[in-house]
Amino acid sequence: MSEVKTASSRRPLRIAIFGFGTVGSSVARILTESKPEQLELTHVFNRNVARKKADWVPGSVTWSEDAGAVLASDAEVIVELAGGLDPAGAWVRKALASGKSVVTANKKLIAFHGVELERLAAANGGHLKYGAAVAGGIPVIPGIEHGLAGDRIERMEGILNGTCNFILSRMEEGAEYADVLKDAQARGYAEADPTEDVGGFDARAKLAILMRLALRAEVDPGQIVPKAITEVAAIDFSYARELGCTIRQIARAGRQIARAGKTNGALAASVGPALVGLRSPLSWSRGTENMVVLTGKYGGDVVFSGHGAGGHPTAVAVVSDLVALASGSKRVEIPAEKAEIGAEFEVPHYIRFLVKDRPGIVAEITAALAREQINIRAIAQKAGYPANALPFVVTVEPCKASALQRALAGIRRLDCMIAPPLDLQMLE
């Protein structure tokens, strides 16, 4: 079993990077150019490693495509940046089981297996740090573990996916979804298959991590059903502006507030595009920026904001974890209890319809909503659209999403409906 060396040790921590992609190469760049005296890059592992070799990396570094050999080497910390559950999970488990420490940016692995891996690290004398797993270079996780450990966080909401924020903030300026997605892919912000990002699965994993740390609730990420941003169109931004809002992908979670003003313990969580008031800090986030707002019982709102995507910002968080390890810093143990998502947010909703116009449509929609005890707040219809493809918007008073979905299930069957209605939460 090896021990992590402290800053007072004679030699620096020996670091092995697993995955020399955008983030891995940025970590190596920082270690090479900044030369932190307590850290030494000794190994780089990557499949087909010959195509990855960089001449600016010191000649003393061992390049390898044999994961087992690197795990068996004298490297004391494995920096896992390959991502995904497998084989990354197997590498992390083997490293921790041998007493090595692990630093990772792998949100999916931490969301689904973080508790198990932390126990494995503790049992074998190593440490697991993942400050880069949520919000890239923004120190949200260290902020929760150290700066907010004395508070009781009651709710959180944030923009946790830089790709979606880039797409939606560009659409806010008038661009179309398909064009912005292509641009995001060309810039390296989005994968060839963007489903993890635009489908909300990436943000869901990050939200589950934050719920465990901030709300002390260990939830299965699969309980959170994300909503994709793919159905949001330019017209929705036009209507949103008239409502004093914009649209962002929002991840949020909290404990339900009872009528007496006290929390009753039931958890609610959601991920998806939502209308955000222009006066909200969440509306100010542009491009690949991330933002997290944490609300504590005693300390009130705390906002974290900055660049949440890209190689360099994420690498900064990784290297910061390495420096903390070298300085003898341990993760703060935050107890969390297994929990279920058992509540819903009761908020206003924005519903956009596309119909073949005919008499009686509004009356039929109103009747379907009334059957679920949902009150209409306003109806808006822009001029200039043809009667055979007429978009209009209905906003409703705060209601449970499940009740609204029951109403919309009946509305979808109306013969005038050209497309399924788009339903977005409105944050107030």
> Tell me, what's the pLDDT at 1?
45
39 close to 20: Cβ distance less than 8 angstroms:
no
CATH fit for domain 140-309, picks 3.40.30.10, 3.40.50.620, 3.30.360.10, 3.90.180.10:
3.30.360.10
Q: Is 227 a catalytic residue?
A: no
User: Class assignment of domain 13-129?
Assistant: alpha beta
Cα–Cα–Cα angle for 398, 272, 164, nearest 5°? Answer: 140
pLDDT for 8 equals 47
Domain ranges of the chain: 13-129, 140-309, 346-427
Contact 124, 96 (CB under 8 A): yes
User: pLDDT value at position 134?
Assistant: 95
Quick check: helix, strand or coil at residue 90? helix
Is 26 exposed, middle or buried (CB count within 10 Å of its CB: 0-12, 13-18, 19+)? buried
Contact between residue 328 and residue 160 where contact means Cβ atoms under 8 Å apart: no
User: For the chain, percent helix, then strand, then coil, each to nearest 5?
Assistant: 35, 25, 35
Alpha-carbon dihedral sign for residues 224, 227, 228, 234: negative
Q: Pick 346-427's CATH classification: 3.30.70.260, 2.40.160.40, 1.10.1530.10, 3.30.930.10.
A: 3.30.70.260
Q: Count Cβ atoms within 10 A of the Cβ of residue 204 and give its class: 0-12 exposed, 13-18 middle, 19 or more buried.
A: buried
Residue 386 CB partners (closer than 8 Å, separation 6+): none
Q: Give CA angle at 394 (253, 369), nearest 5°.
A: 80
Distance CA 371, CA 368 (A): 5
Q: How far is CA 330 from CA 117, 121, 280, in A?
A: 15, 11, 35
With contact defined as beta carbons under 8 Å apart, do 31 and 77 qualify?
A: no
pLDDT at position 262 is 54
pLDDT along the chain (428 residues), means of 10: 50 96 96 94 96 95 97 98 96 98 97 96 95 92 92 95 95 94 89 94 97 95 96 95 97 76 76 96 92 96 87 93 89 84 94 97 97 97 93 97 96 96 95
Q: Which residues pair with 109 in a beta bridge?
A: none
| Rounded Cα–Cα distance for residues 420 and 158 (Å) | 27
Distance CA 3, CA 375 (A): 62
DSSP state at residue 287 = T
Single out the catalytic residue among 35, 206, 227, 382.
Answer: 206
Residue found by looking up tokens 């929990």 in the block: 339
- Which helix (H) or strand (E) is 426 found in, with range? strand 422-427
Angle 361-371/401-411 helices, nearest 10 degrees? Answer: 140
